[in-house]
Structure 1
């Protein structure tokens, strides 16, 4: 990728993980005599000129523009004019995403025009071409504005799929995916770009992309764009939808008569499961029995009732949170089974099982169809109800069509694929995501359908009409029941799943025994470290109760939850941080605090280290009766097992020791924050994608 003539300035830009992934092996050279930002050579090499030697933000913009134009000219040489404007559109959006700057600061006059929501007119496109033409191999155009009228029409069709991967991945979910230009992060404190300088153990909530995941999404984006430039955009998107479904099915061992429904989130999966339960034989009203909804997703109880769970949908429709979704039965009854008592302690498994069975039998006796949940696992790693209880609850009584539906909430995906296969063999639906254990980007879910439920899609009754606000037809297996869903494709979801599948493919190559040993060593070391810190109190981990399996790694509690002592409290009694303060601590860990910590503090160097952990879980605690406190989480995900691409060649044992040391740095930063709590509370620092004064090599985790 590098040429010897590149300056140190450019090398610093090329060290950026996003640009490094996009550049790949492409030849990049510097020509000090070129009075242009860059030029793409006929063979695809990029020559950077002196204007690219400005501020790093401008250098990154010009390089990103060149790295977009070069492959598009190779993909569609017959549409070089269109490719030039597609690349300019992506570069313009990259500028605003990368800098958060105003139009007045744009590095070229055409940038605000190409970043606009609407395609510029043919006249403006012709004017912009005078600036773009010198950047690429010579292109002969007929005189007049004719080519630009046709170009305008072509760009109108392409506009929705043009943009950097990191921008497109923020679409097709909900407002929590949107990146704040001021911070470079979304609601979850993570990025759609690689962020290797951050210490990340947040897989129980959401993770920033790795370079591996970013490359998977970038490959998919170029595939979509190539199809569109060749006039096969619909086929390209349909192929990717089908390929994603097939790869998920292969990972979990689905058979030909089973199916995969792609969903933006686990909450959408809940809605889809309800829609399928409503298609069960008998046409009875549905009773939806949830397990510990407070330890799943915040919108799950609403989705379980067939109600809008946010004020916007994944397809961009404005709705009213809490209002019924058109076509869903309004007589659905939702019942919750808690898994913790009022003091936050885990309820005995026998009590949870008994309550689940009792409620199921009562609902069946009332001639209601039951949709019964198994939670595998919760936000704090709990699993319930037991398999024996579920079998008892589902045992035939009376009419054969009275058998409940079971859906397994395995959205954390902290289980061996063979466990998923067992659930499907029992006739149960399974909800999974690529965004938790697998460390893909947030908002990529799937509902796995056993054969019996899959056949309902072939029946005469359609899914509720309001489901069309949430899902496209090709996200589902084929069937008459979904034929009325709208045509189209969720591009953001496609890219997010391709990123997650890159991580899933990587861990699928690791033997089960190796996964177990790496997780066990890490979890044991981290648990011991937390237990020796007087400022912390570990939430007793619960080993998932699973059937025996050789080298089973999914019997390990891979989510470590802990409370943090509130500053200024009596040292003899453990008073954990209340939930609002735990949320502040969670955010400050992911923030560069270097300007706010006195330099004479012995741990001042930790202030700039960005640490991303799992969001606090609201729980009760006997040390603060009547107060909801927050438990932070350190989670072991697939990336911990496999390593990052940048770890290639590193000894696995030493790499895992480094991961344990990085957990120690997180805990030391917690102590640092507690010592300076008052000062930080006054300053109210905010998270950012990068630390201040970023130099990648200086701040990569030790």
Structure 2
């Protein structure tokens, strides 16, 4: 990638994983005699496609990163819009300006880049402002003629239309969900402790909650973003620039998800930002069942699903705003949903946290269905596949019996909550063949970014949209393009959720990588990892693994999904009195478990004195968020952490290229043991860490100080 010797500091910027993916092998060289921040070809002395960095790129890593991101964006946009060089230059500057904000407050004033503030503003600059800025941007690209305010009237109008679509992929992916996706510039992480940028130096086993993107996923999102911007640049100069391209991208997403799960004719995909949105959509479709009866919605272990699911399951707003940015009253009934909807639930655990017998769970579900049908209600019954701690219920035999219906032939709707996606696509196909809806995400097992969900519709349910209308209030949650093209969706607004689109493209890159691995290899790699890590957890006196049955599934050749891939465990409370004989295990309470979860993902090295402790404390470890569960030795709720095997464990991190499979799996097992070792380190230094309460960061602290991420 590099065409000349560079300073060590600049070389570090060029090796950042996000910039390395975007560069994609492009030739980059340094010319200290160049006064401009950079130049891209073709122009005098610059090879087409080449980026030449100038003297301003030596001013420090913060400025160098912005300059390189700007140069790479411009080098990619100019060929996409050869007839629009001015507009391409302005769009590239906008992306670079927003990129600066993602890197945090480091860097201070940058007189070499005087256009940054104007191009980072919420409102686009007018023609006069662009005319004043252009002399700073023009030297960066081939000569174009655009003089005076009047010469920028057309570019200003086009830029204003494109403004909402412009930004780095990692910024756009934080939109179209909710506040939990917002990145804290001080830490580089969102609410889930993960990033939309690659983070290969971190040990990541958090797929039960959310994962940072790999280089593969980031490249998938970047490719989609370029397609979106390229379509907008060539969109004909109207406010609807690129609308056809965006609509085509959404349709293609739905087709690709459908192909992954082998959807048949008449079946369909509904895109949704989250599993909670999927719940809302499933209820809306259940209400369209023949007969127009009020719905009884039966959830399994709502405490082990998303926190907003119980509200969505009643047709209520589950947050204060929607993924499309509409302000809504949390808990209020959504327009068009029936107030008569009943929410019923069946627990999977007893008051002491122990699992209930499977036949008791099945009996409770069947009794609730019979009571609802006897009361003249329609039933939406959930099958949980799997819960946050890997539970599968209710049983298939009971569900198949209910699906045959009672004496009047009425059968419940069944929706499978497979949002963890820890099942073979053949299982999803079998659910659809039964006429059941299936919720999936690309953000759990597949390790795509958080907030990319989909509801898979069997033909019989999809057909309801031909004669029935979705609730009017869903217009605040969905665009028409995310649903099947049917009369029942016609009242939804046109448009696209760009953030959702890019997140799904990132997830699909991971899904494709896993799909390419033969099932016996998937099974063998998961078994090797899980055997080793289960043994390490069980050997630790600080941990207690939650036992539970393996997922009970129908026989499938070389099945990998008949084994638990979420390893849940309690952590010993270092401040509790374990008794003189040490025989009593007291787990961390929920809030302390949440603190431990954060500290694992933080650089602790500056808080510790011993060299070995500092080295281990500096390793960033991301695991699944604690699940609140009762425990007989703990008043109130304990918190169970989760270490999960995700798709990337099988298909490989792109940053692991060059390692043979056995060596790579050894490294993954070693990384999991590092997580357990760091838990022990935190327990030994609990008082110090509780007083300091260190924050999670995108990269180790020394790298955050320098404005770049380290290699690992």
TM-score normalised per structure 2: 0.96
Q: Out of 688-697 and 8-17, give the one that drifted further.
A: 688-697
| Preserved CA contact (<8 Å) 2:219 2:506 | yes
* Gaps in structure 1 of 5+ consecutive residues: none
Equivalent position of 1:205 in the other structure: 209
Equivalent position of 1:416 in the other structure: 424
Equivalent position of 1:598 in the other structure: 609
Equivalent position of 2:12 in the other structure: 12
Provide the C-alpha distance between the structure 2 equivalents of 1:105 and 1:287, rounded to a whole number of angstroms.
60
* Gaps in structure 2 of 5+ consecutive residues: 43-47, 236-240
- CA separation of 1:179 and 1:107: change in aligned 2, threshold 3 A: farther
Which one of the candidate residues 437, 443, 448 is aligned to 1:440? 448
Provide the C-alpha distance between the structure 1 equivalents of 2:636 and 2:429, rounded to a whole number of angstroms.
41
Equivalent position of 1:48 in the other structure: 53
Equivalent position of 1:59 in the other structure: 64
Provide the C-alpha distance between the structure 1 equivalents of 2:655 and 2:208, rounded to a whole number of angstroms.
23
User: 1:394-413: per-residue Cα shift (whole Å, max 9, x none)?
Assistant: 3322433x221100000000
Equivalent position of 2:502 in the other structure: 495
Equivalent position of 2:156 in the other structure: 152
CA drift of 1:101 comes to: 4.9
CA drift of 1:433 comes to: 0.1
Provide the C-alpha distance between the structure 1 equivalents of 2:86 and 2:708, rounded to a whole number of angstroms.
39
User: 1:46-81: per-residue Cα shift (whole Å, max 9, x none)?
Assistant: 111111111111100100000111111110010000
- CA separation of 1:415 and 1:696: change in aligned 2, threshold 3 A: farther
Query: Is 1:620 matched with 2:625?
Result: no
| Preserved CA contact (<8 Å) 1:609 1:699 | no
Provide the C-alpha distance between the structure 2 equivalents of 1:458 and 1:562, rounded to a whole number of angstroms.
47
Provide the C-alpha distance between the structure 1 equivalents of 2:40 and 2:110, rounded to a whole number of angstroms.
25
CA drift of 1:105 comes to: 5.6
- CA separation of 1:700 and 1:201: change in aligned 2, threshold 3 A: farther
**Could you say what secondary structure the match of 1:614 adopts?**
strand
Query: Is 1:525 matched with 2:536?
Result: no
User: 1:166-193: per-residue Cα shift (whole Å, max 9, x none)?
Assistant: 0000000000000011111000000000
- CA separation of 1:176 and 1:27: change in aligned 2, threshold 3 A: same
| Preserved CA contact (<8 Å) 1:197 1:696 | no
Which one of the candidate residues 588, 597, 600 is aligned to 1:577? 588
Which one of the candidate residues 132, 139, 142 is aligned to 1:137? 142
Equivalent position of 1:3 in the other structure: 3
- CA separation of 1:107 and 1:582: change in aligned 2, threshold 3 A: farther
Which one of the candidate residues 158, 163, 167 is aligned to 2:167? 163
Provide the C-alpha distance between the structure 2 equivalents of 1:106 and 1:463, rounded to a whole number of angstroms.
54
Which one of the candidate residues 366, 383, 395 is aligned to 2:392? 383
Equivalent position of 1:73 in the other structure: 78
Counterparts of 1:324-335 in structure 2 under 5 Å? 324-335=333-344
**Could you say what secondary structure the match of 1:130 adopts?**
helix
Equivalent position of 2:232 in the other structure: 228
Equivalent position of 2:89 in the other structure: 84
Equivalent position of 1:274 in the other structure: 283
| Preserved CA contact (<8 Å) 2:447 2:648 | yes
- CA separation of 1:696 and 1:542: change in aligned 2, threshold 3 A: farther
**Could you say what secondary structure the match of 2:29 adopts?**
strand
**Could you say what secondary structure the match of 1:603 adopts?**
helix
Query: Is 1:187 matched with 2:194?
Result: no
Query: Is 1:689 matched with 2:698?
Result: yes
Equivalent position of 2:617 in the other structure: 607
CA drift of 1:513 comes to: 0.4
Provide the C-alpha distance between the structure 2 equivalents of 1:95 and 1:243, rounded to a whole number of angstroms.
32
- CA separation of 1:585 and 1:324: change in aligned 2, threshold 3 A: same
Equivalent position of 1:486 in the other structure: 493
- CA separation of 1:698 and 1:660: change in aligned 2, threshold 3 A: farther
Q: Out of 94-103 and 606-615, give the one that drifted further.
A: 94-103
Q: Out of 221-230 and 38-47, give the one that drifted further.
A: 38-47
Q: Out of 32-41 and 480-489, give the one that drifted further.
A: 32-41
Provide the C-alpha distance between the structure 2 equivalents of 1:657 and 1:104, rounded to a whole number of angstroms.
46
| Preserved CA contact (<8 Å) 2:278 2:453 | yes
Matched pairs, number: 696
- CA separation of 1:468 and 1:102: change in aligned 2, threshold 3 A: farther
Equivalent position of 1:217 in the other structure: 221
CA drift of 1:699 comes to: 6.2
- CA separation of 1:491 and 1:519: change in aligned 2, threshold 3 A: same
Provide the C-alpha distance between the structure 2 equivalents of 1:209 and 1:235, rounded to a whole number of angstroms.
28
| Preserved CA contact (<8 Å) 1:257 1:451 | yes
Provide the C-alpha distance between the structure 2 equivalents of 1:686 and 1:228, rounded to a whole number of angstroms.
39
Counterparts of 1:95-114 in structure 2 under 5 Å? 95-101=100-106, 104=109, 108-114=113-119
- CA separation of 1:119 and 1:336: change in aligned 2, threshold 3 A: same
CA drift of 1:697 comes to: 12
Counterparts of 1:220-369 in structure 2 under 5 Å? 220-231=224-235, 233-369=242-378
| Preserved CA contact (<8 Å) 1:57 1:99 | no
**Could you say what secondary structure the match of 1:628 adopts?**
strand
| Preserved CA contact (<8 Å) 2:605 2:613 | no
Query: Is 1:39 matched with 2:39?
Result: yes
- CA separation of 1:92 and 1:106: change in aligned 2, threshold 3 A: farther
Provide the C-alpha distance between the structure 2 equivalents of 1:116 and 1:108, rounded to a whole number of angstroms.
15
CA drift of 1:91 comes to: 0.3
The RMSD of aligned alpha carbons is 1.5
Provide the C-alpha distance between the structure 2 equivalents of 1:692 and 1:441, rounded to a whole number of angstroms.
24
Counterparts of 1:115-134 in structure 2 under 5 Å? 115-134=120-139
CA drift of 1:106 comes to: 7.1
Equivalent position of 2:45 in the other structure: none
| Preserved CA contact (<8 Å) 2:387 2:420 | yes
